[in-house]
Every structure is written in structure tokens, then in C-alpha cells.
Chain A
Amino acid sequence: MFSNSFDAVIPVICVTLAALVVMLAEAFRGRGERMPLGGLAIIGLVGAAAASVLLWNRNATSFGVMTADNFSIFVNLVIITVGIMTVVVSSQTIERDNLPAGEYYATLLFAIVGMMLMAQATDLLLIFLALETMSIAVYVLTGIRREFVQSTEAAFKYFLLGAFASSFFLYGVAFLFGVTGSTNLERVGSVIAAQSMSGNPMILLGVGLLLVGFAFKVAAVPFHMWSPDAYEGAPAVVTGFMSTGVKAAAVAAFARVFLSALEPMVTDWAPVLWVIAALTMVVGTVVGVAQTSLKRMLAYSSIAHGGYLLLGIIAGGDVGKASILFYLAAYALTNLGAFGVIALLGTRERANDDLRDYAGLWHSHPALATLMTMFLLSLGGFPPTAGFIAKWYVFSAAVGAGYYGLAIIGVLSSVVSVFFYLRIVVMMFMSERDARPVPPPITAVAMAGLAISLAGVLYLGVLPARVLDWAQASVGTIF
């Protein structure tokens, strides 16, 4: 089982190389010289995507700690898409906000490396390493606008709480190792399955600590406190990246650990996760209603979406796992689009993310307002968008597994969430513009990025069959 094949690592290597090249290029950049660093990043990401596609159905493994099964390839592709979209939208905001382009792109790429590793890891220690790689890069990105107090504060808060969560996770790994003598997921799983360990306090403690660590990373209630602050303080593009990429990677690892190694203990953790999922959906939406900053609003909305993803994990089974994957894809496209719009409307001085800033946007930027509406409708789960199919899929998984109560909590909270998404729509379409300055014009590249995002949202909403089949094919082989 310890194959020395490098195949499974190739996608990660592509992105790592791109990150190194970007760093080097930045180091040798002359003062005032402009370099197509974003282009380099995209080349690396596209290479990784190509490598991932070539690995499809091959179930390659490397060094006994990494796999390139279809599940991780699907997640990788979502993460890579997130990366590419982020780079595209960043092209405008980096210049506007005067961010250090080299550091920015390199850190972004390292975060992606961490995410991809997290999706591919089959060893608890590697998951921890990946988690740290990703997290540290994201802390930096959160605080990249150093001259803003808010940004620095957010980064620091995120770092402190994130470090705690990571140590929880590591502690949990230690307990599991103590009981089972391994950190390899397969070994851990087989030991747990072989000896009935349901009542063993050591292992319960270990599982609980892992649960806390993951819950923290997916921003599940009550471990969500960091996310509104971090989301608000980070530049909008980074927020979009965090709310989709970090979530995708964390949920993927969460699902892998809990639905493979810890599957035999499902009766122990499912009730706990049930409560966490319900709380996450309800708190995310209800508190979201009270927000007036768009970034905070979408931060709470993404907490709620994390709850829907947990629904998929609780439901388990092939449908549950596939529903997680589809949900991640749909949610990534949609949320990136929404944050992209927010990012593009900001200026260097002001983020323009207050609800009032969107008053009458329809009159000044009709196309942008329409795009934003479509993204919000998708977040709210209206057909014919990706958001509806994704929600239907997780609810279907939950109902199929008999969790009617959780599904009902889910749909009702999604109705409440529609209320605050529509508040934004009301502002854009049904309020008059007040005397604030008109937001800046949007570059063609950024606009094209958003348009592609919308095309993806509509494609997944109208013709979801193909991607649904891919998602199904991604879960058949692994767990």
C-alpha cells in the first residue's frame, strides 16, 4: 500500500511550482515594473486542473498518505475553479487597493495548495499539515491590507482562534493515535471497526476534539464567532475565496474522516452533529437577518450554508456524499459571484459594503445589479439556479436517511434567508439612489469572470444531470 508513485501529488506540485515562480518573479521585479503574475497563477491552476482530470478514475495514491480518488479530484476542481475566479476578480482590486501583487498571489496559491492537500490526504497528520498550510496563508490574506485597523484586527482574531482550533484537532489526532496506534485513516477505521469502541472514553474524546476542529474550520455554530469578523475585515475578494475554498477543503476532509475512519461510530457523533447542523442553519440565517453590512450578511449566510453541507455529512451514504460535492460546486460558483460583485463595487477608501450603498444600483449599474440578483437567488435556493438543485440534493439525502426534522429546519431557515437576500434586491431595485458617489466602472476582465460564474450557476441549475453524475461517480469508489 505504500506505493512510491508520484501521480497523486502532481496537481499539488503544479500549484506549488506556480507559487514559487510567482515569489521569484516578485523578488526580481524592478521597481514600478508590472508583471502578469495573475496570469502565472492561472497557468499553474489550469495545469493542476488538467492533471486532476487526467487522474480521474485512476484512484492513484502516493506514499500511503495521499490519494487522488474521484472524491478528491472533484473537490480539487472546485477549489481550482475558486482559485481561478479569485485571481480573475483580483486583477482589478489589487491595483485599486494597492496590494502587494507578488505576496498576494503567492499566498493565495499556497492557500490553494493547503486546500488541495486537505482534500487528498488520507492520513490525519497530513490533514493537520494541510490545514495549517491553508490556514496560515489565509490569515495572511485576511490581514493583507495592513493600513486598515479592521483588517489587521480580523486577521489577528482569526489567527488566535484558528490556532486554538488547530490544536484541538491535533489533540484529537493524538487521542486517536493512542487508542488505535495509527494516524492512517484506513487503519484507524479498521481498528475501530474490529473492536467495538463505542463506549471508550479516550476515543470519544478524540472524536469530539476532531469534531470541534472541523466545526471551527467550516464555521459551524457554536464555533463560528471568528467568521463574521474575519469576513468583514478581509478584502472582499479574499472573503469570497475564504468562504468557498476554505469551506470546500474543510468539508471535504470532514466528510472523509467522519464517513470513513469514524463511520463505525456514527451513532456516537451523528446526534451531536445533528444539533450542530440545526444550530448552524438557524443561527446563520436568523442573525444574518439583522446585518446591515453586506459582507457580514453574506458571512452569516455562508455559516448557514455550512449547515446545509453538514446535513449531507449526517445523511451519509452515497447520496449524502454526492450531495456534499454538488453543493460545494454550486455554492462556490454562487458565492464567488456575489463576493465578486461586492469587491468590484468597493473603492480604495471605502469598501462600499453597507446595505445603503446598494440603493438604486439597478439605475447606475444595471448589469451588475442583475448579476447580483441571480447570485442572491441562487444562494436563496430559487430555481432555475444551481442553488436550488444543490439544496434539493442535500435535503433529498437528509430525507432519504430519515432526517425529516433536520430537512424541515433546513428548508424553513432557507425561507428566512430569502428574506435577507431580498433585502439586498430591494435596495438595488426598489430604492432610489441617494447622494453617494456612483461606484467605479468595472473592467471587462472582471465582468467576464462574473458572467462565467453566472453561466456556471445557470448551467448547474438548468442542466445539472452531468455534474450530478460526476458527483455520484466520485463517491462510489472510496469510502
Chain B
Amino acid sequence: MSKVYKVLDTQDTGNCNWIAAAVDQATYDLIDVINLSLEVHDNDSTRVLCAPLESAVNFAVGAGLLVVGIAGNVDFVGPNVGLPGAYANVLTVSGLKCGATTSQGCSYDAVFWEGSASGPEVDLAAAAAGVAVSTPTTCSTLFGCTGGAVVYGDGTSYAAPLVSAVAAMVIAKYPDARRQAQALAAHLKATAYTPSSGADSLRYGKGVLDAVKALATNPCLTQHCYLHPDP
């Protein structure tokens, strides 16, 4: 994780303008991938528009930064995709749960996690439920005082960084694709696989993240990569 843009406080809450400012800063920093594992809503969990954030996201993607966001969690803002996931320029990830346990661990062969929001804005699906995560060494609002231990967590928040990580690997392998947000997003969708339960665009978007296939070809061979001025 190369840079951290803190926008959420001790209560894991923040505001629209901070997030927009963080995305602007990330664009200025010319990083490669922005991970937005968060949802914007008001005090009673109603989805709200956040115009500065949408504008910042559009600018970031225009500059070629891939912006990865989440479908959101049903128990948080309901069954529909939240914001910023619903912005057109965000690569929006819904959540899967463990489909089968194999001798080598959990196979996430695409069983939709019922806690994940869904809708036409979903682009990709990745593991979200029962994901092992590290907790802070300090006490935290979300995890209490676990002293840095590993716990299992559920949330589409954990699906997004998987997609961000695979995008980072693709960029590392194919430097042509660096800051080609549109091509990267299209490539990750085009290389996703249809789960054994069948296609379902509202739940899985174009399908389930497949790092092997994504890494097998240069995105710029099949997608339109272009020269763009640095902002």
C-alpha cells in the first residue's frame, strides 16, 4: 500500500469533501490505483450525492488513475449499489462468499454473498465474506483491542483491495497499461470468469475477478490505450 489518504476518523466516519480532497491529492500524486472501500450516506443511511467526490473521481480517471470502489453492504445502505460505487467511472466490486472448501482452502467460485449490494452498476465480483484481515495493534472502534491479531471479517470493503491488488500486478507486468484507467477496467472485466452458478450481471457484473487471465495478456493489446497529458 503505497500511500494512505486518511479521510475517516476514529468512528470510521468522515465527510464527502475530505474524500474528494483525498482523491484530488492522489491524482496530483499520480499514483496508479485508488482504493475506495467506503460508502457515502447521511446520518440515517440514506444515499446522498456527493458532487465534489464525483468530480474528483472523474478527474482522476481522466488522468488515467484506476478508481476501485464497492457495491456496499446491504445492512449499511440497503440492497442497491451505494456511492461512490454507483458513479460511472468507478470500477465497482460486489462481494462473494466461500463456495466450497477444498484441500487447499476456500474456493471462492462465486457464491454471491447476500450481504453485498447489487445492481446494474456492479462491474466485477470478488471475495468479501469470511476474509481474514489484520487489525490495528492499537485499540480501534471497529475491532476493539485485538492487539494486531488476524480476524475474519465480512464486507465488500475487502473485495475492492483484491481488485486493486490485481490491477497493480497487471500494471507491474505490462507498464503500457500504467494510468490507462479505462483500458485496465475494461481488461479486468473482460478477463473475469462466469461463475458456475451462471452469469448474473446485477450480482457479478461481468463476472468474477480472475488474476491469472488478467495477467495473461497485455491490456493494451485488446483495449484502447491512449496517450494522455499528465494533469
Question: Does B associate with A?
Answer: no
Which residues on A are within 8 Å of B, measured CB to CB? none
Which residues on B are within 8 Å of A, measured CB to CB? none
